[in-house]
């Protein structure tokens, strides 16, 4: 990182891939803002762990689907840490239950769209002015495998529509903000399951996974090492990209079973 310490806000970062991202960015010298909705104990424990690395860390509650929560999150961060230089939009509601679009409640549609598209856009909009002032910024969105192809995903209609919309927004925003030294990219993780989200590559590299073309399961480090690379000052020429980090697995084709 540059001599001036960067402040990184990672939504949904008390557990899973967000937690791994927070730890790695702290390791390279960023001050960290952990965001959570319900996992207060995990966020507090992670915050203490990060502070022990010698960087500043806040743990702030807020639901990305609620604009007022994000406004409070940004305001608290600026008041206590000065700015937001890196924004990792990791949070995004995903309903595990498989059902057709016609079976969704209106509230479910609003929640998933707000959490995965509109909330991300609002949060980006809130941090852009301070990034433009500094002529430096890193914004990372999260998608799903092959989102850039805008394929249909039965039983995941709303989530898929939100993320595919986010693909277009990522590409547009990257062009508009490039003159200000701000890069915008999307990470599309593979099917990284359960505890593997918080594991290093070395912990899974000898584990067999017959569903993965690579032959091993994915680990949190597979994703976070790419995020850390995109946040480097010298990565300023990498923007507007939709990056598949999946070990070759196609999550839609592997999981679609029309019933």
Q: Per residue of the chain (259 residues), give pLDDT as tens.
A: 445 789 999 999 999 999 999 999 999 999 999 999 999 999 999 999 999 999 999 999 999 999 999 999 999 999 999 999 999 999 988 877 889 999 999 999 999 999 999 999 999 999 999 999 999 999 999 998 888 888 888 899 999 999 999 999 999 999 999 999 999 999 999 888 888 887 887 888 888 888 887 888 778 888 999 999 999 999 999 999 999 998 787 766 655 443 4
**For domain 7-255, which architecture applies?**
3-Layer(aba) Sandwich (3.40)
Quote the tokens at residue 83: 């700015």
Quote the tokens at residue 33: 């803002």
Strand order, beta sheet including 137-142: 57-61, 31-36, 7-10, 86-89, 137-142, 182-189, 242-245
Separation in Å, CA 198 to CA 23, 173, 201:
10, 30, 10
Residue with tokens 């480097």: 232
pTM above 0.75, yes or no: yes
b/e sequence 143-174, b meaning 16+ C-beta within 10 Å: bbbbbbeeeebbbbbbbbbbbbbbbebbbebb
């Amino acid at each position: 990182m540059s001599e001036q310490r960067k402040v990184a806000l990672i939504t949904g970062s008390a557990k899973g891939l967000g937690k791994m991202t927070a730890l790695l960015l702290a390791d390279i010298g960023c001050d960290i803002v952990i965001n959570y909705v319900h996992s207060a104990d995990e966020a507090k424990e992670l915050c203490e762990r990060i502070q022990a690395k010698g960087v500043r860390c806040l743990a702030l509650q807020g639901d990305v689907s609620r604009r007022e929560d994000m406004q409070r999150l940004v305001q608290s961060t600026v008041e206590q840490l000065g700015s937001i230089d890196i924004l990792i939009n990791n949070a995004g509601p995903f309903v595990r239950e498989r059902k057709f679009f016609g079976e969704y409640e209106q509230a479910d549609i609003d929640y998933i769209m707000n959490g995965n598209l509109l909330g991300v856009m609002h949060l980006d909009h809130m941090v852009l002015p301070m990034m433009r002032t500094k002529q430096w910024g890193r914004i990372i969105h999260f998608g799903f495998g092959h989102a850039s192809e805008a394929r249909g995903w039965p039983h995941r209609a709303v989530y898929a529509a939100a993320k595919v919309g986010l693909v277009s927004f990522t590409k547009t925003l990257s062009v508009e903000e490039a003159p200000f030294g701000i890069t915008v990219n999307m990470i599309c993780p593979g099917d990284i399951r359960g505890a593997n989200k918080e594991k290093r590559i070395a912990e899974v590299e000898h584990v067999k996974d017959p569903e993965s073309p690579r032959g091993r399961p994915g680990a949190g480090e597979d994703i976070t090492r790419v995020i850390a690379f995109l946040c480097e000052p010298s990565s300023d020429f990498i923007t507007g990209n939709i990056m598949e980090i999946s070990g070759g697995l196609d999550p839609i084709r592997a999981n679609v079973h029309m019933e």
